[in-house]
Amino acid sequence: MKVLVAVKRTIDPNVKVRVKSDGSGVETANVKMAMNPFCEIAVEEAVRMKEAGHAEEVIAVSAGADKAQETLRTALAMGADRAVHIVTEAELQPLAVARLLKVVADEEQPGLVIMGKQAIDDDSNQTGQMLAALLGWPQATFASEIVFKDGTADVTREIDGGLETLNVNLPAVVTTDLRLNEPRYASLPNIMKAKKKPIVRREADSLGVDVSPRLAIHKVEEPPKREAGIKVADVAELVAKLRDDAKVIG
């Protein structure tokens, strides 16, 4: 089967995020960018599926400006076979991305769509669920293990109470959680090979999808700085602080 894996270009998780002075968003100019960590896990899992013989082709897809190709090249260097770049300068929100991915899925007819459970920039955790609804496919979110059977997959997912295993018919949409795998580093030979792998450019306007934003950001601000802790002399003082200052007990 084909596996379609969605990837997103975000601020590098090791970079300290700075809020713009006007509060309209976070600063991205001259900031190091990288593949969203959850998307790395999705790519790694798709490549492992191919190595195990469950998939015959891995297709990476990303939507965004020209620099999104850098993220797609990373996916190709990790082991994806080819890539699709949906080119747009528009601000893409989860519903718009889901609609764009649906067009690609309809054309490619994959047996599985796998993606990160969320992106670390907006933390929406919506795109996978929306895509499954648009396609009318089963979904399994927050996956920590995927086991394939005849035409189905057992997906162990992380929930508040522990672990839950779902059996879903294929094709399906699966979103990845942190403990699914440890993404590999792309080797230099694979990085060089990735430069020769095909990336098909598709203009978002040509796909007949309305990508206009549905949500408006009014203000972005940094969280308040955490106050330093204090030492208390005894239990009585601790109780008093919790009751009078923190007001967490009566």
Structural domain spans, the chain: 2-223
* CATH class of residue range 2-223: alpha beta
The type of residue at 102 is K
Q: Is the pLDDT of residue 250 over 80?
A: no
Q: Which pLDDT belongs to residue 229?
A: 85
pLDDT digits (tens, 9 = 90+) for 119-130: 999 899 999 999
Q: Which pLDDT belongs to residue 30?
A: 86
For 161, the token pair is 């109470």
Q: Alpha helix (H) ranges present in 163-246? A: 188-194, 235-240
Type and span of the H or E element at 98: helix 94-108
Compute the mean pLDDT over every residue in the chain, rounded to the nearest whole number: 94
Q: Is the pLDDT of residue 90 over 80?
A: yes
pLDDT digits (tens, 9 = 90+) for 32-66: 999 999 999 999 999 999 999 999 999 999 999 99
Q: Which pLDDT belongs to residue 248?
A: 87
Q: Which residue has the tokens 């929406």?
A: 124
155, 137, 93, 143: which is closest to 117 by C-alpha?
143
pTM: 0.87
141, 144, 139: which is closest to 178 by C-alpha?
144
pLDDT digits (tens, 9 = 90+) for 111-164: 999 999 999 998 999 999 999 999 999 999 999 999 999 899 999 999 988 999
Q: Name the residue with higher pLDDT: 246 or 172.
A: 172
CA atoms lying within 13 Å on the CB side of residue 217? 13
pLDDT band at 249 (very low <50, low <70, confident <90, very high): confident
Number of Cβ within a 10 Å radius of residue 31: 13
